[in-house]
Structure 1
Amino acid sequence: MGTGSYAGYQVDEVLKGVNSTVNGSTDAVTGQAVIDDSTLKSASVDVNLNDVHTSFKARDEYFSSQVVDTNLHPIASFRATEPVDLKELLVDTSDNMQQNSVDVDIPGELDLNGQVMPATAKATVIVTQQGMQVRGVVPMVWQDFGITPPDLNVVKVADSGELQFLLLLTR
Protein backbone atom coordinates (compact mmCIF):
# COMPACT_ATOMS: atom_id res chain seq x y z
CA MET A 1 0.00 0.00 0.00
CA GLY A 2 1.27 3.40 -0.90
CA THR A 3 1.16 6.57 1.16
CA GLY A 4 -2.27 8.18 0.97
CA SER A 5 -4.24 4.94 1.29
CA TYR A 6 -7.09 5.03 3.78
CA ALA A 7 -10.11 3.05 4.93
CA GLY A 8 -13.05 3.71 7.17
CA TYR A 9 -16.79 3.59 7.52
CA GLN A 10 -19.85 5.64 6.66
CA VAL A 11 -23.13 5.34 8.51
CA ASP A 12 -26.29 7.40 8.87
CA GLU A 13 -27.34 8.47 12.34
CA VAL A 14 -29.83 10.69 14.11
CA LEU A 15 -28.02 12.77 16.74
CA LYS A 16 -30.23 14.88 19.01
CA GLY A 17 -33.00 14.74 16.40
CA VAL A 18 -30.78 15.78 13.47
CA ASN A 19 -30.12 13.37 10.58
CA SER A 20 -26.48 13.18 9.58
CA THR A 21 -23.95 10.96 7.88
CA VAL A 22 -20.87 10.00 9.89
CA ASN A 23 -17.52 9.15 8.34
CA GLY A 24 -14.68 7.60 10.29
CA SER A 25 -11.35 6.85 8.65
CA THR A 26 -7.70 5.98 9.14
CA ASP A 27 -4.54 5.76 7.11
CA ALA A 28 -3.40 2.77 9.23
CA VAL A 29 -3.97 0.45 6.27
CA THR A 30 -1.74 -2.37 5.06
CA GLY A 31 -2.15 -5.02 2.42
CA GLN A 32 -1.15 -6.32 -0.93
CA ALA A 33 -2.53 -7.31 -4.32
CA VAL A 34 -1.14 -9.76 -6.84
CA ILE A 35 -1.97 -9.14 -10.49
CA ASP A 36 -0.80 -11.65 -13.06
CA ASP A 37 -1.82 -11.96 -16.70
CA SER A 38 -4.39 -9.12 -16.40
CA THR A 39 -6.13 -10.84 -13.48
CA LEU A 40 -6.28 -9.89 -9.83
CA LYS A 41 -5.14 -13.21 -8.35
CA SER A 42 -5.23 -12.24 -4.67
CA ALA A 43 -5.75 -9.19 -2.50
CA SER A 44 -5.82 -8.47 1.20
CA VAL A 45 -6.35 -5.31 3.21
CA ASP A 46 -5.94 -4.89 6.97
CA VAL A 47 -7.20 -1.83 8.85
CA ASN A 48 -6.18 -0.90 12.40
CA LEU A 49 -9.50 0.00 14.02
CA ASN A 50 -7.77 1.70 16.96
CA ASP A 51 -6.81 4.48 14.56
CA VAL A 52 -10.27 5.10 13.04
CA HIS A 53 -11.41 8.63 13.87
CA THR A 54 -14.42 10.84 13.19
CA SER A 55 -14.91 14.51 13.99
CA PHE A 56 -16.24 13.65 17.48
CA LYS A 57 -13.93 12.12 20.10
CA ALA A 58 -16.76 10.75 22.28
CA ARG A 59 -18.12 8.85 19.25
CA ASP A 60 -14.66 7.38 18.59
CA GLU A 61 -14.30 6.24 22.20
CA TYR A 62 -17.77 4.66 22.15
CA PHE A 63 -16.98 2.92 18.83
CA SER A 64 -13.73 1.42 20.11
CA SER A 65 -15.13 0.26 23.46
CA GLN A 66 -18.86 -0.42 23.04
CA VAL A 67 -19.51 -0.98 19.33
CA VAL A 68 -16.37 -2.93 18.39
CA ASP A 69 -14.08 -3.95 21.22
CA THR A 70 -10.82 -2.92 19.59
CA ASN A 71 -8.85 -4.42 22.48
CA LEU A 72 -10.14 -7.86 21.41
CA HIS A 73 -10.51 -7.17 17.68
CA PRO A 74 -8.13 -4.37 16.67
CA ILE A 75 -7.90 -5.33 12.99
CA ALA A 76 -10.59 -5.51 10.31
CA SER A 77 -9.62 -7.40 7.15
CA PHE A 78 -10.91 -7.93 3.64
CA ARG A 79 -9.61 -10.82 1.55
CA ALA A 80 -10.49 -11.42 -2.09
CA THR A 81 -11.76 -14.98 -2.54
CA GLU A 82 -12.03 -15.13 -6.34
CA PRO A 83 -9.93 -13.83 -9.23
CA VAL A 84 -11.06 -10.58 -10.87
CA ASP A 85 -10.58 -9.94 -14.60
CA LEU A 86 -8.78 -6.63 -15.25
CA LYS A 87 -8.19 -7.11 -19.00
CA GLU A 88 -10.41 -4.15 -19.89
CA LEU A 89 -8.27 -1.93 -17.67
CA LEU A 90 -4.89 -3.18 -18.82
CA VAL A 91 -5.56 -3.26 -22.58
CA ASP A 92 -3.73 0.04 -23.22
CA THR A 93 0.02 -0.01 -22.66
CA SER A 94 0.64 3.49 -24.01
CA ASP A 95 1.67 6.58 -22.07
CA ASN A 96 -2.03 7.42 -21.67
CA MET A 97 -2.68 4.24 -19.71
CA GLN A 98 -3.31 6.18 -16.49
CA GLN A 99 -6.56 7.41 -18.03
CA ASN A 100 -8.02 3.89 -18.00
CA SER A 101 -10.48 2.90 -15.32
CA VAL A 102 -12.86 0.02 -14.78
CA ASP A 103 -15.60 -0.77 -12.27
CA VAL A 104 -15.30 -4.22 -10.69
CA ASP A 105 -16.92 -6.36 -8.04
CA ILE A 106 -14.36 -8.10 -5.83
CA PRO A 107 -15.86 -11.14 -4.07
CA GLY A 108 -14.30 -11.72 -0.69
CA GLU A 109 -14.56 -12.17 3.03
CA LEU A 110 -14.79 -9.40 5.60
CA ASP A 111 -13.41 -10.08 9.07
CA LEU A 112 -14.82 -7.55 11.54
CA ASN A 113 -15.38 -7.84 15.28
CA GLY A 114 -14.21 -11.46 15.22
CA GLN A 115 -16.86 -12.44 12.66
CA VAL A 116 -16.01 -13.49 9.09
CA MET A 117 -18.73 -13.02 6.48
CA PRO A 118 -18.88 -13.11 2.68
CA ALA A 119 -18.73 -9.59 1.27
CA THR A 120 -18.33 -7.93 -2.11
CA ALA A 121 -16.24 -4.82 -2.58
CA LYS A 122 -17.59 -2.57 -5.33
CA ALA A 123 -14.58 -0.70 -6.66
CA THR A 124 -13.26 1.54 -9.39
CA VAL A 125 -9.71 0.71 -10.43
CA ILE A 126 -7.58 3.37 -12.14
CA VAL A 127 -4.09 2.94 -13.52
CA THR A 128 -1.68 5.62 -12.29
CA GLN A 129 1.96 6.33 -13.00
CA GLN A 130 2.85 4.75 -9.64
CA GLY A 131 0.61 1.68 -9.97
CA MET A 132 -3.15 1.54 -9.38
CA GLN A 133 -5.74 3.41 -7.38
CA VAL A 134 -8.61 1.31 -6.05
CA ARG A 135 -11.56 3.24 -4.58
CA GLY A 136 -14.67 1.51 -3.35
CA VAL A 137 -17.15 0.41 -0.75
CA VAL A 138 -18.24 -2.77 1.00
CA PRO A 139 -21.93 -2.53 1.98
CA MET A 140 -22.64 -4.21 5.31
CA VAL A 141 -25.24 -4.84 8.00
CA TRP A 142 -23.81 -4.30 11.48
CA GLN A 143 -25.62 -7.23 13.14
CA ASP A 144 -24.03 -9.65 10.64
CA PHE A 145 -20.81 -8.95 12.54
CA GLY A 146 -22.27 -9.18 16.04
CA ILE A 147 -22.48 -5.39 16.30
CA THR A 148 -25.57 -3.76 17.76
CA PRO A 149 -25.92 -0.26 16.32
CA PRO A 150 -26.19 2.34 19.09
CA ASP A 151 -29.77 3.31 19.92
CA LEU A 152 -29.45 5.69 22.86
CA ASN A 153 -31.37 8.73 24.08
CA VAL A 154 -29.22 11.14 22.06
CA VAL A 155 -28.19 9.02 19.08
CA LYS A 156 -29.62 6.28 16.86
CA VAL A 157 -27.37 4.67 14.26
CA ALA A 158 -28.69 2.98 11.10
CA ASP A 159 -28.69 -0.83 10.92
CA SER A 160 -26.41 -0.81 7.88
CA GLY A 161 -23.52 1.20 6.57
CA GLU A 162 -20.53 0.78 4.36
CA LEU A 163 -16.84 0.37 4.67
CA GLN A 164 -15.00 2.75 2.35
CA PHE A 165 -11.47 2.59 1.04
CA LEU A 166 -8.93 4.24 -1.20
CA LEU A 167 -5.95 1.99 -1.82
CA LEU A 168 -2.91 3.29 -3.63
CA LEU A 169 -1.14 0.22 -4.95
CA THR A 170 2.47 0.68 -5.94
CA ARG A 171 4.40 -1.44 -8.41
Structure 2
Amino acid sequence: MRTGTKIAVGAGAAVVVLGGAALVFGPGLYADMNADSAQEAPAVDSPGVGGATDPAEFEGDWTVARGESYAGYRLDEVLQGEDVTVTGRTPDVDGTLSVADGAVTAAEITVDMTTVATDNGARDDYFRETALNTAEFPTSTFTLTEPVAVEPGTESVELAGELTVHGVTRPVTLDAQVGLTDDGARVAGSVPVTFADFGVQAPDLGFVSVEEDGEVEFLLDLVRNP
Protein backbone atom coordinates (compact mmCIF):
# COMPACT_ATOMS: atom_id res chain seq x y z
CA MET A 1 0.00 0.00 0.00
CA ARG A 2 4.59 3.90 -1.40
CA THR A 3 3.19 1.62 2.53
CA GLY A 4 0.84 -0.96 4.86
CA THR A 5 3.61 -2.22 5.60
CA LYS A 6 6.25 -0.44 8.61
CA ILE A 7 7.14 -3.93 7.37
CA ALA A 8 10.49 -2.78 6.06
CA VAL A 9 11.59 -1.82 9.52
CA GLY A 10 11.67 -5.22 11.09
CA ALA A 11 13.25 -7.23 8.35
CA GLY A 12 16.12 -4.87 8.06
CA ALA A 13 17.19 -5.62 11.60
CA ALA A 14 17.30 -9.27 10.72
CA VAL A 15 20.47 -8.89 8.69
CA VAL A 16 22.44 -9.51 11.88
CA VAL A 17 22.39 -13.20 11.18
CA LEU A 18 23.94 -12.79 7.73
CA GLY A 19 27.34 -11.64 8.92
CA GLY A 20 28.71 -15.15 8.55
CA ALA A 21 27.77 -15.28 4.89
CA ALA A 22 29.56 -11.99 4.30
CA LEU A 23 32.74 -13.34 5.88
CA VAL A 24 32.65 -16.52 3.82
CA PHE A 25 31.85 -15.06 0.41
CA GLY A 26 33.16 -11.50 0.78
CA PRO A 27 31.00 -8.37 0.81
CA GLY A 28 31.11 -7.85 -2.96
CA LEU A 29 29.89 -11.33 -3.86
CA TYR A 30 27.37 -11.28 -1.00
CA ALA A 31 25.97 -7.99 -2.29
CA ASP A 32 25.66 -9.37 -5.83
CA MET A 33 23.91 -12.51 -4.56
CA ASN A 34 21.37 -10.53 -2.58
CA ALA A 35 20.78 -7.95 -5.31
CA ASP A 36 19.96 -10.77 -7.72
CA SER A 37 17.48 -12.25 -5.22
CA ALA A 38 15.60 -8.97 -4.66
CA GLN A 39 12.24 -9.15 -6.39
CA GLU A 40 11.01 -6.56 -8.86
CA ALA A 41 8.84 -3.73 -7.60
CA PRO A 42 5.10 -4.45 -7.91
CA ALA A 43 3.40 -3.05 -11.00
CA VAL A 44 0.16 -3.40 -12.95
CA ASP A 45 0.77 -4.97 -16.37
CA SER A 46 -1.77 -2.76 -18.15
CA PRO A 47 -2.56 0.29 -16.02
CA GLY A 48 -5.81 2.12 -16.67
CA VAL A 49 -9.50 1.38 -16.25
CA GLY A 50 -10.38 2.04 -19.86
CA GLY A 51 -11.58 5.25 -21.47
CA ALA A 52 -14.94 3.76 -22.42
CA THR A 53 -15.66 2.19 -19.05
CA ASP A 54 -18.77 3.34 -17.26
CA PRO A 55 -17.84 4.30 -13.67
CA ALA A 56 -21.07 2.64 -12.55
CA GLU A 57 -19.49 -0.72 -13.44
CA PHE A 58 -17.19 -0.36 -10.46
CA GLU A 59 -19.94 0.31 -7.94
CA GLY A 60 -20.16 -2.11 -5.03
CA ASP A 61 -17.92 -4.02 -2.67
CA TRP A 62 -14.66 -5.72 -3.63
CA THR A 63 -12.48 -8.31 -1.88
CA VAL A 64 -8.75 -9.05 -2.07
CA ALA A 65 -8.33 -12.40 -3.81
CA ARG A 66 -5.66 -14.86 -2.64
CA GLY A 67 -3.27 -16.21 -5.23
CA GLU A 68 -1.47 -13.36 -6.97
CA SER A 69 -1.89 -10.81 -4.17
CA TYR A 70 1.02 -10.06 -1.85
CA ALA A 71 2.45 -7.40 0.46
CA GLY A 72 5.89 -6.88 1.92
CA TYR A 73 8.89 -4.63 2.21
CA ARG A 74 11.93 -3.38 0.33
CA LEU A 75 14.99 -2.02 2.12
CA ASP A 76 18.64 -1.30 1.53
CA GLU A 77 21.53 -2.69 3.54
CA VAL A 78 25.12 -1.50 3.41
CA LEU A 79 27.66 -4.29 3.93
CA GLN A 80 31.24 -2.99 4.17
CA GLY A 81 30.48 -0.33 1.57
CA GLU A 82 28.45 -2.65 -0.71
CA ASP A 83 24.78 -1.77 -1.30
CA VAL A 84 22.33 -4.66 -0.97
CA THR A 85 18.59 -4.57 -1.65
CA VAL A 86 16.38 -6.97 0.32
CA THR A 87 12.72 -7.79 -0.34
CA GLY A 88 10.35 -9.78 1.86
CA ARG A 89 6.79 -10.74 0.95
CA THR A 90 3.74 -12.71 2.00
CA PRO A 91 0.66 -13.85 0.03
CA ASP A 92 -1.39 -13.77 3.22
CA VAL A 93 -3.27 -10.55 2.55
CA ASP A 94 -6.95 -9.93 3.21
CA GLY A 95 -9.08 -6.88 2.66
CA THR A 96 -12.18 -5.17 1.37
CA LEU A 97 -12.85 -2.09 -0.72
CA SER A 98 -16.06 -0.19 -1.47
CA VAL A 99 -16.86 1.96 -4.51
CA ALA A 100 -19.77 4.39 -4.67
CA ASP A 101 -20.55 7.40 -6.88
CA GLY A 102 -17.36 6.98 -8.88
CA ALA A 103 -15.03 6.92 -5.88
CA VAL A 104 -13.39 4.45 -3.54
CA THR A 105 -15.11 5.32 -0.29
CA ALA A 106 -13.64 2.72 2.07
CA ALA A 107 -10.78 0.23 2.13
CA GLU A 108 -9.04 -1.85 4.75
CA ILE A 109 -6.15 -4.21 4.05
CA THR A 110 -4.67 -6.63 6.60
CA VAL A 111 -1.29 -8.35 6.20
CA ASP A 112 -0.16 -11.42 8.16
CA MET A 113 3.29 -10.36 9.33
CA THR A 114 4.11 -13.82 10.70
CA THR A 115 4.52 -15.19 7.17
CA VAL A 116 6.57 -12.41 5.53
CA ALA A 117 9.63 -14.13 4.06
CA THR A 118 12.85 -13.33 2.21
CA ASP A 119 15.30 -15.80 0.70
CA ASN A 120 16.93 -16.41 4.09
CA GLY A 121 15.21 -18.21 6.96
CA ALA A 122 17.54 -16.85 9.64
CA ARG A 123 16.80 -13.27 8.59
CA ASP A 124 13.09 -14.07 8.65
CA ASP A 125 13.26 -15.52 12.16
CA TYR A 126 14.98 -12.39 13.42
CA PHE A 127 12.45 -10.20 11.65
CA ARG A 128 9.48 -11.98 13.22
CA GLU A 129 10.82 -12.70 16.69
CA THR A 130 12.97 -9.65 17.43
CA ALA A 131 12.41 -6.76 15.05
CA LEU A 132 8.62 -6.67 14.82
CA ASN A 133 7.68 -9.05 17.63
CA THR A 134 5.00 -10.68 15.51
CA ALA A 135 3.94 -12.86 18.44
CA GLU A 136 2.47 -9.70 19.97
CA PHE A 137 1.79 -7.78 16.74
CA PRO A 138 0.92 -10.45 14.14
CA THR A 139 -0.74 -8.16 11.61
CA SER A 140 -0.28 -4.81 9.90
CA THR A 141 -3.16 -2.83 8.40
CA PHE A 142 -3.86 -0.01 6.00
CA THR A 143 -7.15 1.88 6.31
CA LEU A 144 -8.30 4.47 3.78
CA THR A 145 -9.24 7.77 5.44
CA GLU A 146 -10.31 9.88 2.43
CA PRO A 147 -12.43 8.98 -0.63
CA VAL A 148 -10.56 8.85 -3.95
CA ALA A 149 -12.16 9.23 -7.38
CA VAL A 150 -11.73 6.47 -9.97
CA GLU A 151 -12.74 7.85 -13.35
CA PRO A 152 -12.58 6.34 -16.85
CA GLY A 153 -8.97 6.34 -18.03
CA THR A 154 -7.53 6.48 -14.50
CA GLU A 155 -4.10 4.80 -14.34
CA SER A 156 -3.00 5.81 -10.86
CA VAL A 157 -4.54 7.15 -7.69
CA GLU A 158 -3.25 8.83 -4.55
CA LEU A 159 -4.46 7.10 -1.40
CA ALA A 160 -4.52 8.76 2.01
CA GLY A 161 -4.87 6.51 5.00
CA GLU A 162 -3.48 5.13 8.22
CA LEU A 163 -0.80 2.47 8.37
CA THR A 164 -0.45 0.34 11.49
CA VAL A 165 2.78 -1.60 11.99
CA HIS A 166 4.29 -3.00 15.19
CA GLY A 167 1.27 -1.65 17.07
CA VAL A 168 1.94 1.93 15.91
CA THR A 169 -0.45 3.83 13.63
CA ARG A 170 0.75 6.64 11.35
CA PRO A 171 -0.89 8.67 8.56
CA VAL A 172 0.51 7.86 5.10
CA THR A 173 -0.06 8.90 1.51
CA LEU A 174 0.79 6.56 -1.33
CA ASP A 175 0.57 6.39 -5.10
CA ALA A 176 -0.95 3.25 -6.58
CA GLN A 177 -1.39 1.95 -10.13
CA VAL A 178 -4.80 0.58 -11.02
CA GLY A 179 -5.91 -1.60 -13.90
CA LEU A 180 -8.54 -4.05 -15.05
CA THR A 181 -8.05 -7.82 -15.26
CA ASP A 182 -10.14 -10.58 -16.78
CA ASP A 183 -11.63 -11.32 -13.37
CA GLY A 184 -11.74 -7.88 -11.74
CA ALA A 185 -9.11 -5.24 -10.99
CA ARG A 186 -5.52 -4.95 -9.79
CA VAL A 187 -3.83 -2.34 -7.60
CA ALA A 188 -0.08 -2.05 -7.03
CA GLY A 189 2.08 0.44 -5.21
CA SER A 190 4.39 1.26 -2.33
CA VAL A 191 4.77 3.73 0.50
CA PRO A 192 8.01 5.05 2.02
CA VAL A 193 8.43 4.44 5.73
CA THR A 194 10.90 5.52 8.37
CA PHE A 195 11.63 2.71 10.82
CA ALA A 196 11.72 4.89 13.90
CA ASP A 197 8.21 6.16 13.16
CA PHE A 198 6.92 2.67 13.95
CA GLY A 199 9.08 2.06 16.99
CA VAL A 200 11.66 -0.02 15.14
CA GLN A 201 15.35 0.81 15.24
CA ALA A 202 17.39 0.06 12.12
CA PRO A 203 20.47 -1.96 13.16
CA ASP A 204 24.05 -0.84 12.66
CA LEU A 205 26.51 -3.60 13.51
CA GLY A 206 29.64 -2.10 12.03
CA PHE A 207 30.09 -4.60 9.17
CA VAL A 208 26.46 -4.23 8.10
CA SER A 209 23.88 -1.48 8.54
CA VAL A 210 20.35 -0.87 7.38
CA GLU A 211 19.13 2.43 5.99
CA GLU A 212 16.69 4.23 8.28
CA ASP A 213 14.08 4.41 5.51
CA GLY A 214 12.48 1.67 3.43
CA GLU A 215 9.31 0.92 1.51
CA VAL A 216 6.23 -1.15 2.12
CA GLU A 217 4.93 -2.50 -1.18
CA PHE A 218 1.94 -4.48 -2.37
CA LEU A 219 0.05 -5.94 -5.30
CA LEU A 220 -3.64 -6.71 -4.83
CA ASP A 221 -6.01 -8.63 -7.06
CA LEU A 222 -9.58 -7.49 -6.44
CA VAL A 223 -12.78 -9.33 -7.25
CA ARG A 224 -16.26 -7.91 -6.92
CA ASN A 225 -18.48 -9.47 -4.29
CA PRO A 226 -21.49 -11.28 -5.76
Fold in common (TM above 0.5) = yes
- State how 1:138-157 maps to structure 2 within 5 Å: 138-157=191-210
**Which has the bigger relative contact order, CA under 8 A and spacing at least 6?**
2
- 1:16 CA displacement: 4.9
State the AA in 2 paired with 1:74. Answer: P
Q: Is residue 133 of structure 1 aligned with residue 191 of structure 2?
A: no
- With the length of structure 1 as denominator, give the TM-score of the two structures: 0.89
Bigger proportion of residues as helix: 2
Q: 2:121 aligns with which of 50, 57, 61?
A: 57
The corresponding residue for 1:104 is: 157
SS of alignment partner, residue 87 of structure 1: coil
Cα RMSD for the two superposed structures: 1.2
- 1:169 CA displacement: 0.3
Q: Name stretches of at least 5 consecutive residues in structure 1 with no aligned partner.
A: 90-100
Q: Is residue 74 of structure 1 aligned with residue 138 of structure 2?
A: yes
Is the Cα contact below 8 Å between 1:67 and 1:150 reproduced in 2? no
- 1:152 CA displacement: 1.6
Bigger proportion of residues as strand: 1
Q: 1:118 aligns with which of 144, 147, 171?
A: 171
State the AA in 1 paired with 2:82. Answer: V
Q: Name stretches of at least 5 consecutive residues in structure 2 with no aligned partner.
A: 1-63
SS of alignment partner, residue 64 of structure 1: helix
Larger Rg: 2
State the AA in 2 paired with 1:18. Answer: E
State the AA in 2 paired with 1:120. Answer: T
Separation in 2, partners of 1:162, 1:63: 15
Number of residues of Structure 1 aligned to a counterpart in Structure 2: 160
Q: Kindly provide the CA deviation profile for residues 56-109 of structure 1, in whole angstroms up to 9, marking residues without a partner as x.
A: 1111111112211101111010001000000134xxxxxxxxxxx511110000
Percent of residue pairs identical: 39
- With the length of structure 2 as denominator, give the TM-score of the two structures: 0.68
